[in-house]
Amino acid sequence: MSDKPKILHYGLHRTGTNFLEAILSDNFDVEIINASLTFGDVSHVCHKHARLYDDNNSASGRFKGNCHNIKDFEDLNLRIKKHNLSPDFFVVISKDPYSWLLSHRHHASEYSEYTNLTNHPIKEYNSYYKKLISLSKNGGNFIFVKYIDLISNVDTLIRLGELMNLEKRVENIKNNKKRVYMSTPFSEDRKQFYMDKLYLNKLHHDSQDSIEEINQNLDKEVVEYLGYDIEEPKVI
């Protein structure tokens, strides 16, 4: 058995879960136990995209029908232990809901599995993170981290390692990664797209979703807890 700290990480699809896993594994001695599961088994509560809520109307594509009615952290912990897994930390990654929605829409255009939503996609964002926030308040070592913080400042990655008391694998911690699994190459232009919130321009001009519509569907408490701002529509 490995004596490395064991991490179970969660994140809505298209929020940087593969990036998080890659930079943690590159820089620290850590065991990410999601990876030990059978690939594609989205019905598993330890899958990184597991829907831990009971809301099929908000679950997209292959996740529909795989929602779990997790009551509280004790319930989740019992289900995890049935698979002989004992995470030391739960790391939850998120993206700004506006940039996530654009990425979700783009992904949906390429993969039909994400198109059969009953509700607005932002409802899925609400349900996913609302449940994880709720679980974090009644047990477990939960750490919430923003994708934008990970790509913009290496200090965020260093602090993440310190919070979990992870031993470094390298002398100099690095948060840059040119490419990760299931992703396109990461360029400086792409980084600036997130840093300068250029995705808001796309929402204003050529998206099927308006800022007003997104705001109407967003759970403001979820957004505030995760550390994001509610964006105001541009006055034309």
The burial class, CB within 10 Å (0-12 / 13-18 / 19+), for 73 is middle
Please determine, for residue 1, whether its predicted confidence score (pLDDT) is greater than 60.
Answer: no
- If one counts the domains in the chain, the total is 1
76, part of any domain: yes
What is the share, in percent, of the chain residues with pLDDT greater than 70? Answer: 93
Average pLDDT, the chain: 90
Span of 60-64, 113-117, 138-142 with lowest mean pLDDT: 113-117
Higher pLDDT, 40 or 140: 140
Please determine, for residue 114, whether its predicted confidence score (pLDDT) is greater than 90.
Answer: no
User: What DSSP string describes 116-183?
Assistant: --SS-HHHHHHHHHHHHHHHHTTSS-EEEEEHHHHHH-HHHHHHHHHHTTPEESSSS-----S--TTS
Total count of residues recorded for the chain? 236
What is the model's pLDDT at position 183? 74
232, part of any domain: no
* Domain that residue 163 falls in: 6-226
Local confidence band at 116 (pLDDT 50, 70, 90 cut-offs): low
Give pTM, 2 decimals: 0.94
CA–CA distance, 152 with 171 (Å, rounded to integer) = 20
Please determine, for residue 25, whether its predicted confidence score (pLDDT) is greater than 90.
Answer: yes
N-terminal to C-terminal alpha carbon distance within the chain = 61
Task: Note the pLDDT tens digit of each residue in 77-110.
Answer: 999 999 889 999 999 999 999 999 998 888 777 7
- 155-163 mean pLDDT: 97
Do residues 4 and 30 make contact, with C-beta atoms less than 8 angstroms apart? Answer: yes
CA–CA distance, 205 with 182 (Å, rounded to integer) = 28
Task: Note the pLDDT tens digit of each residue in 175-200.
Answer: 988 777 767 777 888 889 999 999 99
- The amino acid at residue 3 is D
235, part of any domain: no
Please determine, for residue 41, whether its predicted confidence score (pLDDT) is greater than 90.
Answer: no
Local confidence band at 51 (pLDDT 50, 70, 90 cut-offs): very high
31, part of any domain: yes
236, part of any domain: no
215, part of any domain: yes
Helix, strand or coil, per DSSP, at residue 112: helix
